Structure 1
Amino acid sequence: MDTLTENWSLYGDGLLGTVELTGYASLLALGLGILMAAFRVAPVGSLRVIGATWVNVLRNTPLTLLFFAVLLGLPRFGVQLPFTTFAVLALGCYTSAFICEAVRSGINTVPVGQGEAARSLGMTFEQTLGTVVLPQAFRSVIPPIGSTLIALAKNSAIAGSFSVTELLGVYRPLNELGYSIIWSFVWIAAGYLIVTLTISLIFNLLEKYWGVAR
């Protein structure tokens, strides 16, 4: 217990860093994921190619490699941003590929007749997708999106290896100060549990009010 009580500030900074990484990366992943899902079902062939390429490349690239590409590669092209921002970009882009597939699967559950009816009323593809298809798809994709964002929260631990303040990185200064490595990891695990259970609770509430009835 001393490991935690004597290092509140250190644990607090790490937990806050993980929450910020998870929050910002989740927003980016949701935005990009929904956009790429729209590309994948678009009537324009070039957009479908862009969506498919985005998903296939990112989903099959190790996240650690993507971190190296973003945090070490982009600065070589003159892109100078805080390491935390680079980490958000890497996490958000990587997770967006999985969000995209979850949303696309939800879109495929919407009866084809819904889209045809909307188009028969003169609605454009964007109007049909935004006002008819996606609201119905949302009901069925709440659980998989929740699981994906929980995975994002845990994946944020990789950012600590690139000088980004987050929860897992707390063990290094604690180890240097001579605290028990076992208890250090116990409280780190508790921190991640708080974050993931909070995400789970939020999506359980969303599923309760807007999910598909069982």
Structure 2
Amino acid sequence: MQALLDDLGPLLTGLLTTLWMAGLSAVGALVLGVVVTAMRVSPIPVLRGVAFAYVQLFLNVPLLALLVLFVFALPDAGLLMPLPVTAVVVLIIYEAAYVAEAVRSGVNTVALGQAEAARALGLTFRQTLGSVILPQALRAVVQPVGNVMIALVMNTSLFAAVGIVELTAAANKTNLVHAQPIPIFVGAGLTYMVLALLIGLSTGWLERRVAIVR
């Protein structure tokens, strides 16, 4: 416990790094995921094909492999970005595939008759999607998207593997100094657990507030 108190400053800095990187990644993944979902249900075959390939690719490639590729291989190709920016971009791209699948499941809960009624009223596909389908789909998948956000927060721990000092990396550095792995990593694990609980409780509350009464 003394090790945690002695290095509380660096650990809190690592926690703040985890929080801001997770926050940016969550917003980006939500936006990109909704766009990919719109492409998946688009009447244009090319868009559907691109979105399908995107989702299948990032659902089946390990995040760590993507991080290593973007961080160490892309600079050799002449594409240079700050390390935190690169990590956030990778996490956005990766988690957006999971968001897209969750939102698409919500789209499937919307009755087909509603889309047909919207077309009968003269609404375009974009208007139907934006005004009729997506609002209902998003309200139906609050909890699944919340689960994706929990996984996103946990996945920030992989940033330590590419040199970003977030919570896991800060805990590891503290352990190298004090050699007390049990209190240090238990403390870090409990912190991740608290973050997961906060997200779960928040999405549960939001789900009840926006639930569609059928």
The question of 1:161 aligning with 2:185 is answered: no
* Alignment-derived partner of residue 37 in structure 2: 37
Q: Distance in 2 between matches of 1:166 and 1:44?
A: 42
The question of 1:53 aligning with 2:61 is answered: no
> Shift of the alpha carbon at 1:73?
2.2
> Shift of the alpha carbon at 1:172?
2.6
The question of 1:171 aligning with 2:204 is answered: no
> Shift of the alpha carbon at 1:212?
4.2
> Shift of the alpha carbon at 1:26?
0.7
Root mean square deviation, CA, Å: 1.3
Kindly indicate whether the alpha-carbon contact (under 8 Å) linking 2:71 and 2:83 is maintained by their aligned counterparts in 1: yes
Kindly indicate whether the alpha-carbon contact (under 8 Å) linking 1:19 and 1:195 is maintained by their aligned counterparts in 2: no
Q: Percent identity?
A: 37
Q: Distance in 1 between matches of 2:212 and 2:189?
A: 32
Kindly indicate whether the alpha-carbon contact (under 8 Å) linking 2:157 and 2:166 is maintained by their aligned counterparts in 1: yes
TM-score relative to the length of structure 1: 0.95
Listed one character per residue, the Cα deviations across residues 120-142 of structure 1 (whole Å, up to 9, x for unaligned) are 11111111001100111112111
Kindly indicate whether the alpha-carbon contact (under 8 Å) linking 2:30 and 2:96 is maintained by their aligned counterparts in 1: yes
The question of 1:23 aligning with 2:23 is answered: yes
TM-score relative to the length of structure 2: 0.95
> Shift of the alpha carbon at 1:74?
2.0
> Shift of the alpha carbon at 1:201?
2.2
Kindly indicate whether the alpha-carbon contact (under 8 Å) linking 1:3 and 1:184 is maintained by their aligned counterparts in 2: yes
* Alignment-derived partner of residue 199 in structure 2: 199
> Shift of the alpha carbon at 1:76?
2.0
Alignment of 1:13-162 (within 5 A): 13-162=13-162
Q: Which amino acid aligns with 1:153?
A: V
Listed one character per residue, the Cα deviations across residues 169-209 of structure 1 (whole Å, up to 9, x for unaligned) are 12332122124111110111122122212211221121120
Q: Distance in 2 between matches of 1:210 and 1:136?
A: 9
Give secondary structure in 1 for the equivalent of 2:206: helix
> Shift of the alpha carbon at 1:211?
2.5
Q: Which moved more, 1:25-34 or 1:72-81?
A: 72-81
Give secondary structure in 2 for the equivalent of 1:80: coil
* Alignment-derived partner of residue 7 in structure 1: 7
Aligned positions, number: 214
Distance 1:213 1:179, change over 3 A: farther
Gaps of 5+ in 2: none
